[in-house]
Amino acid sequence: LVSSCVDSLWSVAQALLVLCPGTGLSALCPAESWHLSPLLCVGLWALRLWGALRLGAVILRWRYHALRGELYRPAWEPQDYEMVELFLRRLRLWMGLSKVKE
C-alpha cells in the first residue's frame, strides 16, 4: 500500500526503515509526495507512537516483575529450611508427639 504511493519504497524492509527515525531514508511524509494521503501519514505516526508506548509498557512490566521477584525471594537457603525441618521432626519424636515410621 505504501510502496504504491511512494516511489522510494521497494520492499517491506525499506517501508519499516522509514518508520524508524534517523535511518537516513526519506522522511515519513516527504514534501515531494503530496499524493500521499495525510490520513496515511497520521496513521503511520500513530502506529509508531503506539509501538513505542507498547514497548515501554513491556519493559516496565518486565522490570517490575524482576524487582518483585528479588524482593520476595525467600531469605533462607533450602539447606537451612531442611535443617530446621529435621530439627522439628526430631523434637516431635523426642517429645512423643509423633512415632517413628517403620
Q: Is the distance from CB of 19 to CB of 7 less than 8 angstroms?
A: no
| Distance of alpha carbon 41 from alpha carbon 24, whole angstroms | 18
Rounded to whole angstroms, the maximal C-alpha distance in the chain is 92
Alpha-carbon span 60 to 34, nearest angstrom: 39
Model pTM score: 0.40
Q: Which pLDDT tens digit goes with each residue over 14-56?
A: 666 666 655 554 555 555 555 567 777 788 889 999 999 999 9
33 Ramachandran zone, left/alpha/beta (phi>0; psi -120 to 50): beta
pLDDT in tens, 18-27: 666 555 545 5
